[in-house]
Structure 1
């Protein structure tokens, strides 16, 4: 047996590992499709202001990315996006929302929306920054 350490591995190596893990994991999950989603904000002229992406799997929704252009931060746009996704999630049978954020991003924003911290990597991805894992039960 050989073990090789590879910096910046080619995509096919990463895909083989990911697909092998995914096949193993799916044996332990209920049979259900993963639904990809996006929720976007536009101004009255149709200019893109930002949005979020995520995935619904059975009764859970994971928010992958949320981004707003600088002029729309602290303007209520993020709250509106999250309120919209929560309502739509309920309509799809979702009972729990999950996401992660960094200490320099918006942990206080998510706390105001009712998210609770359930875990944290300290000093990740570098000293002085933490990655925070959050969840929220919705009714």
Structure 2
């Protein structure tokens, strides 16, 4: 018999699901070849004023987070972060990049860097907004 249980914490379930799914995927397409990626922008005092966080896995870079402090926007630093991430991905053997951004963030930024929108979900995170999914071949 199997029971469906809503757990008070996700840790144990997340670990079990991740292990099971990873084993299944690896059997089908090979190891993830995972490498975390973090690139920061630091001011003269060493404080982080922007950065990009992602993960290299299989033959792709997934950009999870990109942010530049408002005082430093408009100077090409976001583009510089993406260019560095793409080069790191190429060096790792990646053949593409994928990411998501909300309409209130930067959906016009990525096409200027050669990214193509490959999907969109309306009314996320709230009604009237959307999330855009982008990809780029390296």
Gaps of 5+ in 2: none
Match of residue 129 from structure 1: 129
Q: Who is 1:20 aligned against?
A: 20
**Partner in structure 1 of residue 71 of structure 2:** 71
CA distance in 2, matches of 1:57, 1:25: 12
Sort the Cα spacing of 1:3 and 1:45 in 2 relative to 1 into closer, same or farther, 3 A.
closer
Residues 43-97 of structure 1, C-alpha deviation per residue, up to 9 Å, x if partnerless?
A: 2332211111111123211111112222122221101111111222222222211
Q: Structure 1 runs of 4+ off > 4 angstroms?
A: none
- Structure 1 residues 129 and 23: CA distance shift in structure 2, 3 A: farther
Counterpart residue number, 1:110: 110
CA shift, 1:7, in A, is 7.7
Find the aligned partners of 1:36 and 1:119 in 2 and give their Cα distance: 25
Q: Aligned equivalents of 1:18 and 1:30: distance in 2?
A: 15
For residues 7 and 58 of structure 1, do their structure 2 counterparts lie closer, same or farther at Cα, with a shift above 3 Å needed?
A: closer
What's the C-alpha RMSD, in Å, of the aligned pairs?
A: 2.0
What is the TM-score normalised by the length of structure 2? 0.85
Q: Distance in 2 between matches of 1:8 and 1:50?
A: 35
Aligned pair count reads 137
The answer for the alignment partner of 2:93 in structure 1 is 93
What SS class does the counterpart of residue 118 from structure 1 fall into? strand
Partner of 1:3: 4
TM-score, length-normalised on structure 1? 0.84
